[in-house]
Structure 1
Amino acid sequence: MSKFFQYLGTKTFRRHLIIAIVSIIIFVTLIFFVLRNYTHHGEKIMVPDLKNKSITEAIGLLEQQGFRYEVDSVYQSDARPGIILDQDPIAGSFVKDNRTIYLTMITLTPPVVDFPEIREMTFLEARALLGNLELRIGDTTYVPDIARDVVLDVRYGGEELKAGQEIPKGSRINLILGNGMGASEVLVPNVIGLTLSEARFAILGSSLTLGTVNYMGYVTDSLSARVVSQTPPADSLQTEMVSVGTAVNLALSN
């Protein structure tokens, strides 16, 4: 044991100790500089603002500045396809070279949905259902029909749209609705030869009104008298249309 302590006091031990300490310092310093150079310590690049840029433009900027990237896509009906919606890290952040930038873009191809059956639904019901499917209502056209604000037909791209047909989300759907008034014009019925009672029934059944009733000549029995003329007259080809509620005047005779 005494020899060990004696050795600690020799020049040889001190020389070896100094060599060991210097070697450790050199090794640690070398490791520090190697790691500093490998990780580009202190070298940072500002992340560019990529929002609202096209995916092609965004990728070009990232590759030019030495970034890697990963792209995810989402659908948004009111946004232009292929536009960057979000990014991580945010614009203005300072990161190391070769950092991965995560991009969220508006999908280039919108997903499709099966079109539901909305005929015979009210406009409010149809609008709610279409909204849930992220479909938009385009033009609404009203046609004569007793059903008010009820969907009578559906059009997409100028063609009839059937239930179950696949269409892209965000599509504009045109609706044909009833105006609740029915037909605005009707055919005049031919009541020549009918009794007054029969003629009245035919006229009212055609959404017209009975006008003046005149008897021609000597009429012995008004109940058996027959219509001999009417105004407006009935078209023999049944193409003459008059407004709903038009009065039909009659002349009767035995």
Structure 2
Amino acid sequence: MSKFLSYLKTKSFRNNLLAAIFTVIAILFIAFFSLRYYTKHGQGLNVPELKGLEFTQAVEKLEALGLRYEVDSVYIMDQPPGMVIDQDPNAGTFVKDNRTIYLTINTSQAPNVKLPDIEFKSLREVQSLLEGFGLKVGDTSYKADVSKDVVLEASFGGNTIKAGDVLPKGSRIDLILGDGRGNEDVEIPNLIGLTRDEARFSLKGSMLNIGQVAYVGTITDSASAVVVMQTPIISDTLTKIKMGTPVNIILSNQPNQPVVPND
């Protein structure tokens, strides 16, 4: 032990200790500045705003800044195809050169989904179910049935559809619901002079459905054309019909247009 303590007091030990300290400092100094050079400390740029741009515009911006990119796609019906929907990192984020920016693009083609089983389910349940499958509720109409607000039939593009049928995502599904009143009779509304949309609204309020729609005379504006004939029509012998009955209408841009009813 005494020999070791004597060695610590020698000049040789002091020289070796100083050499070791300077060696460690030199290694740390070299490592620090090498790391700064390798990572380009303090050098970089802010990610540009790419959301809302066309894909080609976004690519031009990224390539001009020396940034790489990778692309994923989704389908959003209400957004134009080819537009950047999302980006990662967000705009304004400070990144190094050659960083990869991830872009989400809105695709032009809607993916297909299968119609879930919605028959004999409540309207509220069906709305939630369709939304989960990327579908939407379109027009609703009623027919005589003891079930109230329960889906009896579903259609798309005028054709009846069933569970398992393949449809484009985002499609609107028209539903026929039970009125909860069975075969109850309702008053026939007077549709003469109403536009098509007004007639549809009036019939829906009376738990009736719009049937065939025809036009007569020269049609200059179908939106402003009014009903000049309806079938069935209110008469002394007929004032009520079964709930859910379709009512056919004929429209014209000339309110006084003569119409010969079919026999």
TM-score normalized by the length of structure 2: 0.49
Unpaired runs of at least 5, structure 2: 1-29, 187-236, 243-263
Aligned length: 160
Map of 1:159 onto structure 2: 159
Greater mean deviation of Cα atoms: 157-166 or 67-76: 67-76
For residues 173 and 244 of structure 1, what CA distance do their matches in structure 2 show? 27
Map of 1:129 onto structure 2: 129
Amino acid across the alignment from 2:72: D
**1:6-38 Cα distance to aligned partner (Å, 9 max, x none):** xxxxxxxxxxxxxxxxxxxxxx9xx98xx96x9
Map of 1:169 onto structure 2: 169
For residues 105 and 98 of structure 1, what CA distance do their matches in structure 2 show? 21
For residues 52 and 68 of structure 1, what CA distance do their matches in structure 2 show? 19
For residues 42 and 121 of structure 2, what CA distance do their matches in structure 1 show? 66
Q: Where does structure 1 differ by over 6 angstroms across 4 or more consecutive aligned residues?
A: 38-41
**1:55-81 Cα distance to aligned partner (Å, 9 max, x none):** 333223212333210112345566555
**1:110-139 Cα distance to aligned partner (Å, 9 max, x none):** 432211232222223322322332321111
TM-score normalized by the length of structure 1: 0.50
* 2:104 matches 1:104: yes
Map of 2:89 onto structure 1: 89
Map of 2:146 onto structure 1: 146
**Partner SS, residue 181 of structure 2:** coil
For residues 66 and 58 of structure 1, what CA distance do their matches in structure 2 show? 13
* 2:53 matches 1:56: no
Map of 2:45 onto structure 1: 45
**Partner SS, residue 62 of structure 2:** helix
Amino acid across the alignment from 2:54: S
For residues 70 and 118 of structure 1, what CA distance do their matches in structure 2 show? 39
Does the C-alpha gap of structure 1 residues 91 and 140 become closer, same or farther in structure 2, counting only changes over 3 Å? same
Map of 1:229 onto structure 2: none
Unpaired runs of at least 5, structure 1: 1-27, 187-239, 246-254
Once the two structures are TM-superposed, the CA of residue 165 in structure 1 deviates from its matched residue by 0.9
Map of 2:69 onto structure 1: 69
The two structures, once aligned, show a CA RMSD in angstroms of 3.6
**Partner SS, residue 61 of structure 1:** helix
